[in-house]
Structures are given as structure tokens and as C-alpha cells.
Amino acid sequence: MNPNRNRNVTVLGVPMDLGADRRGVDMGPSAIRCAGLERRLEALGYQVADEGDLLVRRAKPQPAAPETNLKYLYEIVRVNQELCERVSGVAASGRFPLVIGGDHSIAIGTLAGVSRHYGSLGVIWYDTHGDVNTAETSPSGNIHGMPLAVALGCGHPLLTSIGSGKAAILPENVVIVGARSIDPGEKLFLKERGIRVFTMQEIDRLGMAAVMEQALAIAAKDTDGVHLSVDLDALDPSFAPGVGTPVAGGISFRESRLAMELLSEADVVVSAEFVEVNPTLDVRNSTAKVAVELISSLFGERIY
């Protein structure tokens, strides 16, 4: 392992389920902790500070204004603004921010906070979905399908104003890995901005090693660091059944562990989040255990 790697990790839990509008994913942080996260990282030589969970208040599904369909907008904005400040503080102290969720809407706050400390931030979005919907394109109004668009500066003003009020990232520094369910409006969004999307077809055809090599070449090119955002639904439901929006035909556990190992070897990841673990849909906490396995691989654990 690289002796110069940041050995200080701060864990932040965000029990957010409002972005998915489905109960259960709020218990994700607890499930990941119960699967042995802190113990595994400490065994690898990391100094881990778990700062517990942010408060997420239950709210009625009331849109912010008559012209928007965004569910739970105000509370999601409040939590992500707090998360932005907390993540920013962790990064400012020289520690590695590791955020565990919770639904994927929390990526809005994570990216807003991390981007304050990097002039140019690359992003690898490991997910079956594009997450670039806006109020105009979303079929559901669920904000967990919008965080990448918000980070790129597109979306409701209350969301895009979190943090500096500027786009946290640039499209040329973003890569999506594992896509197999992209809405029509998202396809147009991604093509217009030239965002590189590695679908399951390309993973099958090229192999995960080649895909991650290309993904790193994009996300790490002329950037100061890479943020990794992992939605557990990127994996096939046979490996990660405890997610809210499973889609068949996903990435295998072995491929995912290889992806994390390659990211670890590249030593460019400066922050990460693992989201969408829903224990109410899981089997013996297997999805949370997979999350811990992948986190451990990202932080340098090897089979031999």
C-alpha cells in the first residue's frame, strides 16, 4: 500500500430516504456499520472517526411550489446543505470523507463539500442509473435520480445553490460506469454534454479492467482528485438484493471488487460515498456486507 496515502478517515452517515420516497434506505448507514465497516478499515491501518448520522426529519410529500414536482425538496436541501458543511470540514482537516447512505440524493451535499477543496474534481459514478434527471424530465419527482445533474449545475435553484452556488464538477471530468437504465431525458442530457457512459454492454465486451482504465483516464485527467460515488444497485440483484431500484443484468461482485482494487492502485480517490442499501429489502444484511467488502478493497485490502 502507498505509504503516503491518507490514513485518516471520517465516516458520515446520512439516513436519507426522502430522495427515494421509500422507507428502509434510511437504515442503510446502520446496516453498513453492523457489517463491520470500522473494524475492517482499522485492520487495514486506518484511523477511523465515525461522526455518526446527520438528522433527517420526516416530512410530508409536499412540493416546494406549484410549478415543481420535486418531493421533499426543502428537507433534502436542508440536509444536503449540512452535509456539504460537514464534508467540507472533514476535507479541510486533511481527512478522507467517507459518506454512507441513505439514498443517492446525498451526493449533492457530498460533492458540494468536497469540490470546495479541489480546483478540478473528477467523478466516477458507479451506478445503474444516470441520475441526471431534472424536474422537467423526471418521471417520479424523486430527487435521488437527480444528484449528478445538480452537481453539474442543472436543476432546481434551491438544489444547485447548495455549497458555493456554482457547478461542483465539469462534464468532461465525469464518467458513469455500469449504466443499464437511463431515462429518455437523461440520454439527451448526457449526449449534449458529452459525458462518457460505460454501459453493461461495454463492460461485457471490454472487461472491467479496460473500462476502469479508460474511466480513470477521463476522471483523473487534469483533475486534482477523484470522487467515487457507488450506488449498490450497480451490482446485479443476485449480489446486492437490498436496494430500492434493482435492475437485472448488472455488475458482478468480482467485477466490482476488481474495480475498487484498480481505483485503490491508482491512488487518486479523495472522497467516496456508498449509497442505496435498503435493509428491509435485503437478505441477511448481504448488501451491506457487499458494501463493506467494496469499501475495504477501495482502501487497499487484498486477498493475498
Residues belonging to the active site: 104, 127, 129, 131, 144, 231, 233, 276
Using alpha carbons only, what angle is made at residue 297 by residues 31 and 275, rounded to the nearest 5 degrees? Answer: 35
Alpha-carbon gap, residue 177 to 173, rounded angstroms: 13
Query: Three-class SS string for the chain?
Result: CCCCCCCEEEEEEECCCCCCCCCCHHHHHHHHHHCCHHHHHHHCCCEEEEEEECCCCCCCCCCCCCCCCCCCHHHHHHHHHHHHHHHHHHHHCCCEEEEEECCHHHHHHHHHHHHCCCCCEEEEEECCECCCCCCCCCCCCCHHHCHHHHHCCCCCHHHHCCCCCCCCCCHHHEEEEEECECCHHHHHHHHHHCCEEEEHHHHHHHCHHHHHHHHHHHHCCCCCEEEEEEEHHHECCCCCCCCCCCCCCCECHHHHHHHHHHHHHHCCEEEEEEECCCHHHCCCCHHHHHHHHHHHHHCCCCCC
Alpha-carbon gap, residue 279 to 91, rounded angstroms: 29
